[in-house]
Amino acid sequence: MAGSELASASCFTKCMTRDEQRQRIREEMLRKRDSIPSAVRHELSRIINTRTIDFIETQAINSVMLYLSIRSEVDTHDLLAYLLRTNKIALAPAIEAKHLVPRRISNTSTQFKRHRYGMLQPDQNVCPKFPLNQIDLIIVPGIAFDLKKYRIGYGGGYYDRFLPKCQQATWIGLAFEDQLIRDTLPQSWDVALHFIFSEKCS
């Protein structure tokens, strides 16, 4: 790229608001994540799940709330199967009145319903609520994660509102290495996670 073009691109970025810059990061990183071949995503998800399971076992964690993966996210279905197989308390978030509500899952065949956003979530008619102060670990999705463990999600702010209510819990983001960047330009209300697990680090 010529010097004048570099200067123009730099000016364009500097002239953007923080919200516009974050939206640009969101769009670019989502495209990058979507471009990972499905077979590669499956193998990388397996590695990340193994790291997460090792953490759960070494920390003697009993109750885990995890997102139910969709599209190109790090797949959590095997992780959910592990929780149920080992008699851990498996929780998933349901979106209710613009808030996340943790509900307990015991049967993946009959206890899910499709939300209008496209993801599965616990059926509130059959999955009981679980006390926030009894959650040991919360596994968080995201589109981009940075060196200070801040994240960019889908823009709804659900986890930024939810996580501060669960101060006793450990907060972990699951990410492919391609989702890790230097700075997500966090807003004042954003919260940093405790750990980010990828295929290369935890």
pLDDT score recorded for residue 18: 87
User: In b/e form, how buried is each residue of 91-115, taking b as 16+ CB within 10 angstroms?
Assistant: bbbbeeeeebbbbbbeeeeebbeee
Closest by CA position to 137, among listed 75, 56, 78, 68: 56
- Name the residue range of residue 167's domain: 18-197
pLDDT score recorded for residue 164: 97
By three-state DSSP, how is residue 185 classified? coil
Q: What are phi and psi of 177, to 5 degrees?
A: -55, -35
Identify the CATH number of the domain in which residue 59 sits: 3.40.50.10420
Q: What are phi and psi of 103, to 5 degrees?
A: -130, 145
pLDDT per position as a tens digit, 70-129? 999 999 999 999 999 999 999 999 999 889 999 999 988 778 888 777 778 999 999 999
Domain membership flag for residue 76:
yes
Domain membership flag for residue 2:
no
pTM greater than 0.85 (yes/no): yes
Are 93 and 67 in contact by the 8 Å Cβ rule? The answer is yes
pLDDT score recorded for residue 118: 73
Domain membership flag for residue 146:
yes
Domain membership flag for residue 171:
yes
Number of structural domains in the chain: 1
pLDDT per position as a tens digit, 151-163? 999 989 999 999 9
Domain membership flag for residue 202:
no
Domain membership flag for residue 96:
yes
pLDDT per position as a tens digit, 28-72? 999 999 999 999 999 999 999 999 999 999 999 999 999 999 999
Residue 187: both structure tokens together: 């807003």
pLDDT per position as a tens digit, 174-197? 999 999 999 999 999 999 999 999
Domain membership flag for residue 3:
no
Residue type, 158: Y
Kindly tell me the sign of the dihedral angle through the C-alpha atoms of 29, 92, 119, 189.
negative
Domain membership flag for residue 46:
yes
